[in-house]
Chains A and B, each alone.
Chain A
Amino acid sequence: NAGVTQTPKFQVLKTGQSMTLQCAQDMNHEYMSWYRQDPGMGLRLIHYSVGAGITDQGEVPNGYNVSRSTTEDFPLRLLSAAPSQTSVYFCASSYLPGQGSHEQYFGPGTRLTVT
Chain B
Amino acid sequence: AQTVTQSQPEMSVQEAETVTLSCTYDTSESDYYLFWYKQPPSRQMILVIRQEAYKQQNATENRFSVNFQKAAKSFSLKISDSQLGDAAMYFCAYRSGLAGANSKLTFGKGITLSVRP
Contacts and interface: CB of A to CB of B under 8 A. Distances in A.
Interface of A: 31, 33, 35, 40-45, 48, 50, 56, 58, 88, 90, 92, 94, 96-99, 102-104, 106, 108-109, 111
Interface string B30-42: 0001010000001
6 contacts: A43-B91, A45-B105, A48-B103, A96-B99, A96-B103, A111-B43
A42 B98 contact: no
B97 A102 contact: yes
A24 B108 CA distance: 26
Nearest to A45: B104
Chain B: interface residue count, which band? 20 to 34
A42 B110 contact: yes
A90 B97 contact: no
Nearest to B1: A59
Contacts, number: 63
Contacts of B35: 103
Interface stretch (B12-20, B44-52, B62-70, B71-79): B44-52
Contact of A102 (B4, B95, B102): B95
Contacts of A90: 45
Interface of B: 4, 9, 33, 35, 42-45, 47, 50, 52, 91, 95-105, 107-110
Contacts of A96: 99, 103
Nearest to B47: A103
A45 B104 CA distance: 7
B16 to A, nearest CB: 29
B43 A88 contact: yes
Nearest to A96: B103
B108 A103 contact: no
Given A92-B105, A97-B103, A42 B91 contact: yes
Contacts of A56: 102
| Residue among B9, B101, B107 with most chain A CB within 10 A | B107
Contacts of B102: 48, 56
